[in-house]
Structure 1
């Protein structure tokens, strides 16, 4: 599994934005890998559990993956057109999440925030 997980990790590392498991699978197969789709899903899940990949859900509910650029907690600004992704910090979001949790008596609060928009190159291409 380690060699296959490394292949999935390498495919993600070569990518700019978030990619679906099917897209990663297609890339690996095109490169000559004999990896199966189920193995890609398992590798992605293991890397997600280990905090090695970022995961978000598209508007269609599909999980897409991206190699983490940092070990620190962060959020993403994602272009709806091309998928370009920028990792951003959100101290105000962190304070808000803690405050909301405390207000309702919750402890150990975690959160995920993804911000979607259109990046400058895609906006310029529309003009």
Structure 2
């Protein structure tokens, strides 16, 4: 038994989708839907907040963006740097994210699914802590 994902459905290419995609290509960090909407508005690109949300959701479903929850529980998005399935280390202070591969987690997820009769599984792992820079700030009493 192997992990499977939902087949990618073909998305209609619209000016709004292209604008969202281009903006994400220029950003290095995770961004909320509201932040991305503001960036697009500042650039004079007319995309509603609801459309921005739908585009980001479909891009996440297609694996074109990573989606995490920030400490406030809000979904944040970033263009995937790694094409294959991966997980994240996330700094709870500055929001820095590192993409990691975790073959042991993959095997564990498949084993747990098999033991419980689940098929067509998918999973997400986020490890939240302090990055090295924020750890140094904490140790220096600056955080």
TM-score w.r.t. length of structure 2: 0.79
Corresponding position: 1:106 with 2:90:
no
Return the index of the structure with the highest Cα Rg. 2
**Shift in Å at residue 104 of structure 1?**
1.4
Q: Matched residue of 2:29: which SS?
A: coil
**Runs of 4+ with >4 A deviation:** none
The answer to whether 1:29 aligns with 2:35 is: no
**Structure 1 unpaired stretches of 5+:** none
Which has the larger helix fraction? 1
**For 1:58 and 1:82, how far apart are their aligned partners in 2?**
10
**Deviation of the 1:109 alpha carbon:** 2.2
CA apart distance, 1:43: 1.4
Q: CA RMSD in A?
A: 1.7
1:87 alignment counterpart = 99
- Equivalenced residue count is 127
Provide the secondary structure at the position in 2 that maps to 1:5.
Answer: helix
1:47 aligns with: 59
Mapped pair 1:124 → 2:136:
yes
Unaligned runs of 5+ in 2: 1-12
Of the structure 1 ranges 7-16 and 91-100, higher mean CA displacement relative to structure 2 is found in 7-16
The separation in 1 between residues aligned to 2:125 and 2:20, in whole angstroms, is: 25
Structure 1 length-normalised TM:
0.88
User: What does the per-residue CA deviation read over 1:45-100, in whole Å, with 9 as the maximum and x for residues that have no partner?
Assistant: 22122221111223433211111112200001111112111110001101111111
